[in-house]
Chain A
């Protein structure tokens, strides 16, 4: 079992640029989650999918953020345009219907 795979591990970009974060969940898991972690706000749930369908996106901070899951093995989180306050570690996690969640190692995003 390869676990949840995220890419890239680190992303540095300039304000105004588009950023795309990628996630491959564990095979067979039908729930996928995107979290953001900052020192100030801790872990925040941004959005989650069930069977590739977005169920709850109430945590997405602004319209600049969007997430897709075109198939069971791939999801993206896109920020367009990016801003310095988006700097954080973004985690993808997957699970079966009940927890526990299995987390990836995260993408550290720095927007300058």
Chain B
């Protein structure tokens, strides 16, 4: 079935380091792809999205490119800050019967950034 696989955490980095969080997906068609972020004590927030192959989503210095050939949507940031410490979820959206684009989430990757 459709699924999302993320790299296991925690990912621990020093401030200003480069970040990559890997995400690959399995889907029978062409899903939309998302990254959500969850800060401590809060719900998930949409970070960025891409709806078709080769699209690049970007927000707050984070980027991810929809790669159909490798079925991947890796999250990157050139210089992380302590405030980026959170759990990051990759997700795909697919049109299911009933007309709704249902979201399937990965397991989440915890990022800890130290000064």
Q: B87-107 toward A: CB 8 Å interface, digit per residue (1/0)?
A: 001010100001111110111
A43: B residues at CB distance < 8 A: 44, 89, 105, 108
Asked if B98 and A50 sit within 8 Å, CB to CB, the answer is: yes
Asked if A99 contacts B32 (CB within 8 A), the reply is yes
A34 within 8 A of B: no
- We find that the number of chain B residues with CB closer than 8 angstroms to chain A is 23
The listed residue (B34, B98, B100, B108) touching A100 by CB distance below 8 A is: B34
A92, B101: Cα distance in complex, Å: 17
Point out residues on A near B: beta carbons under 8 Å. 4, 31, 42-43, 45, 48, 50, 55-56, 91, 93, 97-101, 103-106
A56 CA to B99 CA, complexed, in Å: 12
Determine chain A's interface SS by DSSP, over half rule.
Answer: strand
For chain B, residues 7 to 52, give those with C-beta under 8 angstroms from any C-beta of chain A. Answer: 32, 34, 36, 41-46, 49
Asked if residues B46 and A100 are in contact (CB atoms below 8 Å), the reply is yes
Expressed in whole angstroms, the minimum distance between the Cβ of B35 and any Cβ of chain A is: 10
- What are 8 sample pairs from A and B whose C-beta atoms fall under 8 A apart? A50-B100, A55-B98, A93-B43, A99-B49, A101-B44, A103-B43, A103-B44, A106-B43
